[in-house]
């Protein structure tokens, strides 16, 4: 199985498709399989090399139980470790929610490694962790997070149910303790797409981010909430694919 290692934590990844490399990083509770379940990979692999990554604490990546292992900068390093192992010099990045927060940090610390940035349902002004979610996780385990998600595909419910509750708690706490990258926004010059559901409570902060980023466009998805901005892929895929297709494909893809 393909793993990259960052500070003794193994990060699982897969690659499929041909074309401009695109790293794809999912949200909390999900795994790289979530992109497949929601139809993203089938729609995008003909025109792009998709590098699908399991965030630490998720999927087949290692799942430490120490919140210090989940600071967002470490998760950004994980992305670079995967790119280095694959000998990819530059790639576009697509991230949703947790994955989007990591994307801002990759762009801030390694701007020369990104050709474009597409972020859904995430802002760069600091993470918010629901105390209610943490209490439910601690008291009831992962099963508590399946309540109200009956409409999800059965495979996606399996992905959520397979999470390690202690690792997820540590991940949420580590993310909440991570420093904001808002001060770096004005320096993030790569082409950037932000998209968010109109009823997502993050929408206003993403509007603020779009106003500060030098080279960003913002797409608001009407009648869509936070979760819908991932699973309503029939709305999201055309936006993301058109954005990626607008990026020049003549950049180098193999590290020297």
Mean pLDDT, rounded, for 3-28:
97
Mean pLDDT, rounded, for 97-122:
96
Classify residue 232 as exposed, middle or buried by CB count within 10 Å of its CB (0-12, 13-18, 19+): middle
Task: Choose the weakest-confidence range: 43-52, 75-84, 143-152, 159-168.
Answer: 143-152
pLDDT digits (tens, 9 = 90+) for 176-219: 889 889 999 999 999 999 999 999 999 999 999 999 999 999 99
pLDDT digits (tens, 9 = 90+) for 16-33: 999 999 999 999 999 999
| Helix, strand, coil share of the chain (percent; to 5) | 45, 20, 40
pLDDT at 128: 66
Distance CA(126)–CA(105), nearest Å, equals 11
**The model's pTM:** 0.94
Residue 134 has pLDDT above 90, yes or no: no
Q: How confident is the model at residue 252 (pLDDT cuts 50, 70, 90)?
A: very low
% residues pLDDT > 70 (the chain): 95
pLDDT at 109: 95
Distance CA(116)–CA(124), nearest Å, equals 16
Q: How confident is the model at residue 248 (pLDDT cuts 50, 70, 90)?
A: low
Tokens of 102: 């990591």
DSSP 8-state code for residue 56: T
DSSP 8-state code for residue 125: S
State whether residue 64 is helix, strand or coil: coil
Q: Could you give the domains of the chain? A: 3-245 (3.40.50.1820)
Cβ atoms of 20 and 247 within 8 Å: the answer is yes
pLDDT at 140: 84
């Amino acid at each position: 199985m393909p793993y990259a290692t960052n500070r003794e934590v193994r990060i699982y990844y897969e690659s499929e498709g041909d074309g401009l490399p695109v790293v794809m990083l999912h949200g909390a509770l999900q795994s790289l399989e979530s992109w497949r379940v929601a139809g993203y990979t089938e729609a995008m692999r003909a025109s792009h090399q998709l590098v699908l990554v399991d965030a630490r604490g998720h999927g087949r990546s290692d799942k430490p139980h120490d919140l210090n292992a989940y600071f967002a900068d470490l998760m950004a390093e994980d992305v670079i470790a995967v790119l280095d192992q694959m000998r990819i010099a530059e790639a576009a990045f697509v991230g949703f929610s947790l994955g989007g927060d990591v994307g801002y940090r990759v762009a801030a610390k390694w701007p020369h490694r990104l050709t474009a940035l597409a972020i859904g349902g995430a802002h760069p002004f600091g993470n918010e962790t629901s105390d209610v979610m943490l209490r439910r996780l601690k008291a009831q385990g992962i099963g508590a997070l399946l309540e109200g998600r009956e409409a999800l595909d059965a495979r996606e419910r399996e992905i959520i149910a397979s999470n390690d509750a202690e690792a997820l708690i540590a991940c949420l706490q580590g993310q909440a303790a991570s420093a904001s990258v808002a001060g770096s926004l004005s320096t993030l010059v790569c082409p950037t797409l932000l998209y968010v559901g109109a009823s997502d409570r993050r929408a206003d902060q993403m509007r603020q981010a779009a106003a500060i980023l030098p080279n960003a466009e913002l797409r608001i998805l009407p009648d869509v909430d936070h979760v819908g901005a991932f699973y309503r892929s029939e709305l999201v895929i055309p936006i993301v694919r058109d954005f990626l297709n607008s990026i020049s494909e003549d950049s180098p893809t193999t590290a020297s």
